[in-house]
Amino acid sequence: MESNIESVYESVVSGEMQATANKVQIALDSGLSANNILQNGLISAMGEVGKLFEEGEFFVPEMLISANSMKFGLNLLRPYLVAEDVQPLGKVLLATVQGDLHDIGKNLVGMMLEGSGFEVIDMGIDVKPEDLIEAVKEHKPDIVGLSALLTTTMVNMKTAITMMEDAGMRDGVKIIVGGAPVTQDYANQVGADGFGKDASEAANIAKQLML
C-alpha cells in the first residue's frame, strides 16, 4: 500500500479524527486521486473496522470514533470526488420510524454506509410514513433503512412498508430494517429485504443488495 494511503487507513482505524483529514490532504497534495484515497484509504479502513467489530476486537465506541474519523476525511475529499465524477455505490435513505426518538444506532449505520461508499440521506427521528414516501419520490434511493428501538414503535415499520406498497413504489427500492427489538423473523413478517443486527452487518447487507 502506498505510504500516504496507508497513513490515511491507519488514522481511520485508530480513530484519529483531525489527523485523518490532515493525512487525506497530504495524500491529495502528493498527487494521489481522490478515488484512490476513498477506496484504499477510507473504505478499506472501514471494512477493517467492521471486521474488528464482528470479531469482538472493537465495540460500539471504537467503531463510532473510527466512523467519525472517516467522515472528517470524506468531508475534505468530497469536492475532489465530484470533480473526478466518482459515483457512489448507491443511495440509501435512512429514518427512525414515527414515534421513536432514538438515533444513535441509525447514525452509526449511516456512517458505516458512507464508509462503504454509499450516498446517505438521513431523515432523522420520528419520521411519518407519508414523509418517508415523499422523500423516496424526491431522492429515488436504491435502499431505504428503517430503525426502531422500541417494541411499541417497530410496528410502524410495517405501516411505512405497506404505505410504500400502496403508493406503487415498493418494487423500485430495497428495504432494510434494524434496531434492538427487531429480528430476522420480524423483518420477514413486515416484508423487508434485509435485517441488520448491527451497523456493520447493515452495511454489508446494503452492499449485497446492490449486486
What is the pLDDT, as a whole number, of residue 163? 94
Question: Tens digits of per-residue pLDDT, 66-122?
Answer: 999 999 999 999 999 999 999 999 999 999 999 999 998 999 999 999 999 999 999
Q: DSSP of the chain, one letter per residue?
A: --HHHHHHHHHHHHT-HHHHHHHHHHHHHTT--HHHIIIIIIIHHHHHHHHHHHTTSS-HHHHHHHHHHHHHHHHHHHHHHHHTTPPPS-EEEEEEBTT----HHHHHHHHHHHTTT-EEEE--SSB-HHHHHHHHHHH--SEEEEE--STTTTHHHHHHHHHHHHTT-GGG-EEEEESTT--HHHHHHHT-SEEESSHHHHHHHHHHHT-
CATH class of the domain whose range is 91-209: alpha beta
Check if the beta carbon of residue 94 is closer than 8 Å to that of residue 145: yes
- Residue 185: pLDDT band by 50, 70, 90 thresholds? very high
Check if the beta carbon of residue 80 is closer than 8 Å to that of residue 29: no
Checking if the pLDDT of 142 tops 80, the result is yes
For residue 29, the tally of other CB atoms under 10 A from its CB is 9
What is the pLDDT, as a whole number, of residue 80? 96
Architecture label for domain 3-83: Orthogonal Bundle (1.10)
Residue 125, C-alpha cell as written in the block: 427521528
Question: Tens digits of per-residue pLDDT, 24-34?
Answer: 999 999 999 99
- Residue 1: pLDDT band by 50, 70, 90 thresholds? confident
Tell me the domain boundaries of the chain. 3-83, 91-209
Check if the beta carbon of residue 24 is closer than 8 Å to that of residue 73: yes
For residue 137, the tally of other CB atoms under 10 A from its CB is 10
